[in-house]
Amino acid sequence: MSFFEVKNIVKNFGGLTAVNNVSFTVEKGEIFGLIGPNGSGKTTIFNLINRFYPLTSGEIYFQGQRIDGLPTHKICELGIGRTFQVVKPLRRMTVLENVMAGAFLHTGSIARARAKALEVLDFCALAHRKDVEAKSLTIADRKRLEIARALATEPKLLLLDETAAGLNPKEQEEAIAIIQKIRDAGITIIIVEHVMKVIMGISNRILAINFGREIARGTPREIANHPEVIKAYLGDAYA
Amino acid sequence: MTAKSWLTPTIIAVVALVLPFLLRDPYPQHILIMILIWATLGTAWNLLGGYAGQVSFGHAAFFGLGAYSAGLLFLHLKISTWWGMLLGPFVATAVAVPIGLICFRLRGPYFALATLALGEIFRLVFTNWVKFTHGAQGILILSTFPTKLPYYYIALAIWGLAMFTLNRLINSKLGYYFVSIREDQDAAESLGIPTTRYKMYAFLPSAFLAGLTGAFYMNYIAFIDPHVVFSLGDISVMVILVVMMGGVANPWGAPVGAAIYIALNEIFRAWLGSANVLAFGILVCLVILFLPNGVMGELGQIRRTAFRQKPAAAGGGQK
Ligand SMILES: Nc1ncnc2c1ncn2[C@@H]1O[C@H](COP(=O)(O)OP(=O)(O)OP(=O)(O)O)[C@@H](O)[C@H]1O
Ligand SMILES: [Mg+2]
């Protein structure tokens, strides 16, 4: 039994099939990349995993337990954290309070939640912003806050949705470093990313999708040279 | 808690305890009691609407249920209306349970609309179910105490209970969860917060305190009718205006808003007659324009402006 498994998942939005019969497994400790052009269904797959949307059909398993059908907060409680592509900071709370909101999952004590949050902020190199209201953060810091807040819930599996999008090259390097640090801490990661440098550099395996369907899977090198992937990203003329 | 965080509440408690001995006339004592009633009702609303972000347009429903619990006990069972202060809060809470269970699962303005409807439904039912409620004729009792003083201390105790409850809740994990839900429900769920359950944790104490306030109101005023205690404009909406005036999601927002409201009410009534509600509404609009976080919420801002200091690094303004 795999650490995490998605089996034949389908999601219809009215007439549109956003995710069409996708299956994959993720093993403990790896970084699993999920790529595809705009609108190909990557974020929707995350939204199905943490049950923002119910599946149209299919099954999802985490550590041997079937989790589709469980409410969103329960899925987090089981150990699946996520970030949002369109960041969702708790705007009128400070950075520290944002991260504490995550840390309260495992404690009822303010002191302990605070200590945990400070530790995570340190880990994400965000401690110097801890007393700033989340609404006044730069986009790079907001992306980082997304990660810190999810980490505070002590996930075993972390879903990262475009955490390097909109960052400058230096910030991207920092984002990569943080993601690698998270992996080194023993947390399994599924990462969605448009920035190829990021995803090719750190993923163990990659699944490429287009129009909600799998088009290729393999190592970063195999994916980079796969004709279907090149076609999906660059158009038919390049295939 | 630090010594300093006890200082303000202690001073306020001492002042509140001796105040009626400084203001010996019934009239100022009545004003103080009305401020305490509104401060309590406002604090109840603020816990739910201000902190947890679940805006109720029908807190008159819970206030009125508390009042009628007391009134009907007397009417039908000839039991002292003071027992209503025991029954009323539980009746209000019991009515809140199904409303919360249904509405908190839904997205959008359902809760606001449901509470709005709830208040109006109770007003109509209590007006028309004449056999049980005496309808628009209302319920009249004889006051228990000849002086204001006992009422003042009871009102003070109820307000103290509300402030204590609010502060205990918001300075705990629950407070963080309430504000998280208010700021972004999706983010809150994804952080493992069972949002429906925590909205209930804000709603039930809020309804309880509103019911308690209503039951006290029956005892104090000694007369209720459905159009007064279930009033949309004079209670449900007014409590929102009072909290907005004082400061939404600020522990002192409701008491400060209540003091301003009742004081202005008395001043304007002498001048403007029934236009005093309008005048208060206009004032709230001005406050929203210039002090969007209410008087207490902007206190730091006002002080900084007054002393011409640079604003400190942006910080947790809400808590
Ligand atoms: N809630 C929704 N209702 C209707 N359609 C939706 C909804 N969410 C997503 N879609 C549609 O599903 C498809 C996949 O969207 P999704 O956001 O998953 O793409 P994505 O791969 O994350 O794209 P991007 O790279 O731009 O983030 C799109 O056509 C989108 O318009
Ligand atoms: Mg996306």
**CATH code at B40?**
1.10.3470
A155 in contact with B, Cβ within 8 Å: no
With contact defined as beta carbons under 8 Å apart, do B277 and B237 qualify?
A: no
How large is the average pLDDT for residues B101-122? 93
- Residues B23-51: tens digit of each pLDDT: 989 999 999 999 999 999 999 999 999 99
Would you say residue A198 has pLDDT above 90?
A: no
d(CA A74, CA B212): 35
Among A193, A90, A68, residue whose Cα is nearest residue A150: A90
Residues of chain B contacting residue A90, judged by C-beta atoms under 8 Å apart:
179-180, 183-184, 187-188
Q: A84 CA distance to ligand 1 centroid (A)?
A: 13
* Within a domain: A17: yes
d(CA A206, CA A32): 6
> H helices of A124-187, where?
139-152, 169-184
* Within a domain: A149: no
* Within a domain: A76: yes
d(CA B110, CA B9): 37
Nearest-CA distance from A12 to chain B in Å?
Answer: 21
The CATH number assigned to the domain holding A184 equals 3.40.50.300
Q: Calculate the alpha carbon distances from B263 to A160, B38, B57, B257, B267 in Å.
A: 54, 12, 24, 10, 6
d(CA A218, CA A204): 9
Which distant-in-sequence residues (6+ apart) come within 8 Å of B18 by Cβ? none
Residue B313 has a pLDDT of: 37
- Closest residue of chain B to A107, computed from CA coordinates: B173
Q: Calculate the alpha carbon distances from A181 to A93, A117, A184, A190, B141 in Å.
A: 26, 17, 5, 14, 71
d(CA B133, CA A225): 80
Helix (H, G, I), strand (E, B) or coil at A153: coil
User: Do A153 and B191 make contact, defined as CB atoms within 8 angstroms?
Assistant: yes
Residue A166 has a pLDDT of: 86
The strand pairing partners of A7, in sequence order, are A59
User: Do A132 and B313 make contact, defined as CB atoms within 8 angstroms?
Assistant: yes
User: Do A104 and B188 make contact, defined as CB atoms within 8 angstroms?
Assistant: no
Residues of chain B contacting residue A154, judged by C-beta atoms under 8 Å apart:
none
Q: Calculate the alpha carbon distances from A174 to A33, A130, A170, A189 in Å.
A: 18, 18, 6, 17
User: Do B314 and A90 make contact, defined as CB atoms within 8 angstroms?
Assistant: no
- On average, the pLDDT of chain B sits at 90
Q: In which region does residue B4 sit, left (phi positive, over 0), alpha (psi from -120 to 50) or beta (all else)?
A: alpha
Q: Which ligand is closest in space to the CA of residue A40?
A: 1
Across B192-217, b (16+ Cβ under 10 Å) vs e yields: bbbbbebbbbbbbbbbbbbbbbbbbb
First to last CA, chain B: 15
A33 in contact with B, Cβ within 8 Å: no
Q: In what order do the strands lie in the sheet with A65-66?
A: A16-26, A4-13, A57-62, A65-66
Q: Whose CA is nearest to atom 6 of ligand 1?
A: A13
* Within a domain: A233: yes
* Within a domain: B312: no
User: Do B191 and A52 make contact, defined as CB atoms within 8 angstroms?
Assistant: no
Task: Look at chain B and report how many structural domains it folds into.
Answer: 1
Nearest-CA distance from A69 to chain B in Å?
Answer: 15
User: Do B179 and A77 make contact, defined as CB atoms within 8 angstroms?
Assistant: no
**Which structural domain, as residue segments, surrounds residue A159?**
4-86+155-238
Residues of chain B contacting residue A86, judged by C-beta atoms under 8 Å apart:
none
Residues of chain B contacting residue A70, judged by C-beta atoms under 8 Å apart:
none
In sign, the C-alpha dihedral spanning B230, B234, B237, B241 is negative
**Which structural domain, as residue segments, surrounds residue B48?**
8-307
The distance from CA B238 to its chain's CA centroid, rounded to whole angstroms, is: 10
Residue B26 has a pLDDT of: 93
Which distant-in-sequence residues (6+ apart) come within 8 Å of B247 by Cβ? B253, B256, B257, B293, B294, B295, B296, B297, B298, B299
Q: Which amino acid is at A52?
A: F
* Within a domain: A24: yes
Backbone φ and ψ for A113, nearest 5 degrees, come out as: -65, -40
* Within a domain: B317: no
Q: Whose CA is nearest to atom 14 of ligand 1?
A: A41
* Within a domain: B316: no
Would you say residue A177 has pLDDT above 50?
A: yes
- Closest residue of chain B to A114, computed from CA coordinates: B173
Q: Whose CA is nearest to atom 4 of ligand 1?
A: A13
- Closest residue of chain B to A112, computed from CA coordinates: B173
User: Do B316 and A97 make contact, defined as CB atoms within 8 angstroms?
Assistant: yes
Would you say residue A123 has pLDDT above 80?
A: yes
d(CA A111, CA A117): 10
Looking from the CA of residue A14, the nearest atom of ligand 1 is 4
Would you say residue A59 has pLDDT above 80?
A: yes
pLDDT bin (cut points 50, 70, 90) of residue B318 is: very low
B188 in contact with A, Cβ within 8 Å: yes
- Residues A72-98: tens digit of each pLDDT: 999 999 999 999 999 999 999 999 999
Would you say residue B310 has pLDDT above 50?
A: no
- Residues B239-288: tens digit of each pLDDT: 999 999 999 999 999 999 999 999 988 888 777 777 777 788 888 888 88
- Closest residue of chain B to A152, computed from CA coordinates: B191
User: Do A97 and B176 make contact, defined as CB atoms within 8 angstroms?
Assistant: yes
Please spell the DSSP secondary structure of A158-174, one letter per residue: EEEESTTTT--HHHHHH
pLDDT bin (cut points 50, 70, 90) of residue B107 is: confident
- Residues A13-38: tens digit of each pLDDT: 999 999 999 999 999 999 999 999 99
Nearest-CA distance from A31 to chain B in Å?
Answer: 21
Would you say residue A142 has pLDDT above 70?
A: yes
Which distant-in-sequence residues (6+ apart) come within 8 Å of B32 by Cβ? B19, B20, B23, B152, B155
Residue A74 has a pLDDT of: 98
Q: Whose CA is nearest to atom 12 of ligand 1?
A: A18
Would you say residue B315 has pLDDT above 60?
A: no
Task: Look at chain A and report how many structural domains it folds into.
Answer: 1
Would you say residue B215 has pLDDT above 70?
A: yes
pLDDT bin (cut points 50, 70, 90) of residue B311 is: very low
- Closest residue of chain A to B249, computed from CA coordinates: A92
Would you say residue B222 has pLDDT above 90?
A: yes
B126 in contact with A, Cβ within 8 Å: no
* Within a domain: A44: yes
d(CA B159, CA B174): 21
d(CA B47, CA B158): 15
* Within a domain: A127: no
Q: CB under 6 Å to ligand 1: residues?
A: A 13, 16, 18, 36, 38-44, 85
- On average, the pLDDT of chain A sits at 94
Residue of A40, A44, A207, A211 to mutate, ligand 1, most atoms within 8 A of C-beta: A44
Cα-atom radius of gyration of chain A, to the nearest Å?
18
Residue A97 has a pLDDT of: 97
Please spell the DSSP secondary structure of chain B, one letter per residue: --HHHHHHHHHHHHHHHHHHHHS-SHHHHHHHHHHHHHHHHHHHHIIIIIIS----S-HHHHHHHHHHHHHHHHHHH---GGGHHHHHHHHHHHHHHHHHHHHTTS-STHHHHHHHHHHHHHHHHHHH-HHHH-GGG-EE---S-SSSHHHHHHHHHHHHHHHHHHHHHHTSHHHHHHHHHHH-HHHHHHTT--HHHHHHHHHHHHHHHHHHHHHHHHHHH-EE-HHHHT-IIIIIIHHHHHHHHH-TT-TTHHHHHHHHHHHHHHHHHHHHGGGHHHHHHHHHHHHHHH-TTHHHHTHHHHHHHHHTPPPPSP--TT-
The strand pairing partners of A230, in sequence order, are none
How large is the average pLDDT for residues A221-238? 83
Residue B305 has a pLDDT of: 56
Q: Whose CA is nearest to atom 18 of ligand 1?
A: A41
d(CA A106, CA B7): 33
User: Do B179 and A153 make contact, defined as CB atoms within 8 angstroms?
Assistant: no
Q: Which amino acid is at A96?
A: L
pLDDT bin (cut points 50, 70, 90) of residue B298 is: confident
B contact test, residue of A53, A75, A90 with most B CBs within 10 A? A90
Residue B303 has a pLDDT of: 59
The widest CA-to-CA distance across chain B, in whole angstroms, is 64
* Tokens linked to A127: 């401690």
pLDDT bin (cut points 50, 70, 90) of residue B54 is: very high
* The model's pTM: 0.93
How large is the average pLDDT for residues A213-223? 94
Angle made by CA atoms A109, A111, A112, in degrees to the nearest 5: 70
ipTM here: 0.94
How large is the average pLDDT for residues B112-122? 96
Q: Which amino acid is at A91?
A: R
B184 in contact with A, Cβ within 8 Å: yes
Residue B2 has a pLDDT of: 57
Among B66, B306, B73, B51, residue whose Cα is nearest residue B181: B51
Residues of chain B contacting residue A73, judged by C-beta atoms under 8 Å apart:
189-195
* Within a domain: B319: no
Among A26, A39, A201, residue whose Cα is nearest residue A224: A201
